[in-house]
């Protein structure tokens, strides 16, 4: 398994972060007198980063704000979210045993997310997961972000992995597009935040629980 690597998305894949993401979103919406969004309504807005999350919520609530106001909401969001990043966010069931099994089989593990790198590390630190990953790369780590294939390929390189022995694990169309563009097989999870059912995105393997991940990896890499 030398240099074989599994690269994970973060929000909606490794960790159920929606409760804290949406709580902070509602705080910034309230600051402008805009009605809150429900967790169920808002989970499909997650995945492209914080500013797109705010912008998508404004569209959903049919509110148009000037760029300076959106900038201020973005700044407010960052300050509050950093302080409350793991109030309610938790790893998905079965994650840690699956990571243990993969690491024990010799796989390198990494994270490639459209969350900012510093916030990603802060979240994983709070959950005691950071040391499991050879690289944690966010939307600001490289000049490009997902779905650009270089975001994934450079994450693999930073972690010391081999792109010909790599798998992407994610919950969204962005993850599938990234993996396809990088010519890397992709395992989709069906418990994330995508507005399009993962089965419709046709990943190479589809899992509904992390206890299925080691077998899916074995199926793809042998």
> Strand runs (DSSP E) across the chain, as ranges?
5-8, 15-16, 90-91, 108-112, 135-137, 166-170, 186-189, 205-207
Sequence-distant (≥ 6) Cβ neighbours of residue 185 within 8 angstroms: 166, 167, 168, 179, 204, 205, 220, 221
Active site residue 9: yes
Q: Where would I find the beta strands (DSSP E) of 128-165? A: 135-137
- CA-CA-CA-CA dihedral for 129, 130, 131, 135, to nearest 10: 130
Catalytic choice (9, 11, 20, 175): 9
> 220, 15, 45, 46: which is closest to 136 by C-alpha?
15
Annotated catalytic residues are 9
């Amino acid at each position: 398994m030398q240099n074989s690597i599994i690269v994970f998305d973060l929000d909606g894949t490794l960790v159920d972060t929606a409760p804290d993401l949406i709580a902070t979103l509602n705080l910034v919406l309230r600051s402008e007198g805009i009605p809150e969004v429900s967790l169920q309504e808002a989970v499909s807005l997650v995945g492209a980063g914080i500013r797109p999350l705010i912008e998508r919520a404004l569209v959903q609530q049919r509110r148009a704000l000037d760029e300076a106001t959106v900038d201020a909401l973005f700044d407010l969001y960052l300050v509050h979210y950093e302080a409350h990043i793991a109030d309610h966010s938790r790893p998905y069931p079965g994650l840690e045993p699956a990571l243990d099994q993969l690491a024990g089989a010799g796989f390198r593990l990494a994270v490639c997310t459209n969350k900012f790198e510093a916030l990603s590390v802060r979240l994983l630190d709070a959950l005691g997961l950071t040391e499991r990953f050879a690289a944690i790369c966010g939307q600001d780590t490289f000049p490009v972000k997902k779905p650009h294939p270089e975001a994934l390929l450079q994450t693999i390189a930073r972690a010391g992995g081999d792109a010909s022995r790599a798998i992407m694990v994610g919950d969204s169309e962005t993850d599938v597009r990234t993996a396809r563009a990088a010519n890397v097989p992709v395992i989709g999870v069906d418990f994330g935040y995508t507005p399009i059912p993962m089965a419709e995105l046709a990943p190479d393997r589809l899992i509904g629980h992390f206890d299925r991940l080691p077998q899916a990896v074995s199926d793809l890499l042998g």
